[in-house]
Amino acid sequence: MENVYDLVIIGAGPAGLSAGLYGARSRMNVLILEKEKSGGQIVTTSDIANYPGSIPDATGPTLIKRMVDQCEEFGAKIEKGTVEEVDLKGKIKKLHLKGGSEVESKSVIIATGAYPRRLNVPGEKEFTGKGVSYCATCDADFFTDMEIYCVGGGDTAVEEALFLTKFASKVTIVHRRDELRAAKSIQEKAFKNEKINFLWNSTIDEIRGDGIVEEMVVKNTKTGEKTVIKAPEEFGTFGIFVFVGYIPNTEIFKGEIELNDKGYIETCQNLKTNIPGVYAAGDIREKSLRQVITAAADGAIAAIQAERHIESIEY
Ligand code: NAP
């Protein structure tokens, strides 16, 4: 069957690249499709301290570069392509790409990850890239010696707030409750850091300015009281970094793959979806721990299952 891949992986984050590595090492004909740059969310991560054996000072981009090189070394093909529609039920899976082309494969691994949840408040969209950011690694430098507000209380918000203290004069974590969700070890670092302040029981209600962020309205979640925070005069602006969780990229699979009420794909421990020959790996899965290590493990398991699947079928 010419032009039919053994395995197509959608998404080139840690889950997709691990699947590519394991698939290619199993001598499958593997294509990884990525709509943007390889890496997924991890390329916006400044510090990778909890991936076993990662080199000191490893960042998201350096770790991903090593994963991409390793994957290609074993023969996996990585191509840019946006999957717009899928037809997965048959023995041969069909993926329709933006631009009109079609890719066929005997098995598919969905590793499309998740994207940052927005606050959905007035001004957020208008000032994205003009003071509002979802990526500390990308934008921290713009706020050297300025003030930054970091929204959220999870691991991401607190870790990125710590990273942002290397640039900003002051970082304020704005959290809707009076207790962080982040792991205790991360919290301890934040509480010890003199540049980090906390605005508890608070949400951002509106972001305002003239071309760039100049002020924001913060609401107390307990009392309902609203306060306007203005940029210090010397800079005329401040940064708002939003880290309030993620939304799974499963839109194109609706109606084809079973999703749970939060939009994640539920799998068995072998990462099978409800469709034979289709697997899910990484952050799009319903799981208890979303980390590079768990995404990488998913990729390996899914690729080996895909190999077993195509060997068990007569084409
Ligand atoms: P998360 O754990 O879901 O935390 C999201 C935070 O945003 C929570 O504090 C939540 O508040 C807050 N929030 C949600 N919606 C909000 C809204 N509309 N307005 C204001 N605040 C809102 O997300 P995450 O921190 O991005 O982490 C995602 C996953 O990655 C987690 O499993 C995490 O453990 C993992 N992760 C791990 C590491 C690490 O181990 N080094 C680093 C980064 C991420 P509440 O607390 O009140 O719900």
Question: What three-state secondary structure class fits 204?
Answer: strand
Q: What distance in Å separates the CA atoms of residue 315 and residue 313, rounded to the nearest whole number?
A: 6
Each of the 315 residues of the chain gets a pLDDT tens digit; together they read 668 999 999 999 999 999 999 999 999 999 999 998 877 878 877 677 788 887 777 888 899 999 999 999 999 999 999 999 999 999 999 999 999 999 999 999 999 999 899 999 999 999 999 999 998 887 899 999 999 999 999 999 999 999 999 999 999 999 999 999 999 999 999 999 999 999 999 999 999 999 999 999 999 999 999 999 999 999 999 999 999 999 999 999 999 999 999 899 999 999 999 999 999 999 999 988 888 999 999 999 999 999 999 999 998
Which of 115, 156, 285 most suits a substitution to test ligand 1, by most atoms within 8 Å of the C-beta? 156
Ligand 1 contact, 287 CB (< 6 A): no
**Residue ID of nearest Cα to ligand 1 atom 19:** 119
Q: Model's pTM, two decimal places?
A: 0.81
CA of 284 to the centre of ligand 1 (A): 15
Say if ligand 1 is within 6 A of residue 244 CB.
yes
Q: Catalogue the active-site residues.
A: 135, 138-139
Check if the beta carbon of residue 284 is closer than 8 Å to that of residue 248.
Answer: yes
- Is 4-116+246-312's fold the same as 132-242's? yes
CA of 209 to the centre of ligand 1 (A): 27
Mutate to test the pocket of ligand 1, among 117, 155, 206 (most ligand atoms within 8 A of CB): 155
Q: Is the CB of 155 under 6 A from ligand 1?
A: yes
CATH match of 132-242 with 3.50.50.60: yes
Which residues make Cβ contacts (< 8 Å) with residue 32, sequence separation at least 6? 8, 9, 11, 12, 16, 17, 19, 20, 71, 76, 77, 78, 79
Domain ranges of the chain: 4-116+246-312, 132-242
Q: Which amino acid is at 211?
A: G
The strand ranges marked E within 35-142 are 77-80, 83-87, 93-97, 102-110, 114-116, 132-133
Residue in 159, 172, 203, 291 to alter for ligand 1 test, most ligand atoms within 8 A of Cβ: 291
Question: Is 119 within 8 Å of 134 (Cβ atoms)?
Answer: no
**How many Å apart are CA 33 and CA 38, to the nearest integer?**
9
Ligand 1 center–CA 158 separation, angstroms: 9
Look up the CATH superfamily of 4-116+246-312.
FAD/NAD(P)-binding domain (3.50.50.60)
Ligand 1 centroid to residue 266 C-alpha, Å:
20
**Binding site membership of 66 for ligand 1 (Cβ less than 6 Å):** no
Please give the structure tokens belonging to residue 208: 């305002």
Per-residue model confidence (pLDDT) at position 2: 67
Ligand 1 atom 2, closest CA: 154
Measure 233 CA to ligand 1 centroid, in angstroms: 32
pLDDT at position 43 is 80
Continuous H helices in 48-124: 60-73
Backbone dihedral angles phi then psi of residue 157, each to the nearest 5 degrees? -60, -45
Ligand 1 binding pocket includes 157 (Cβ within 6 Å): yes
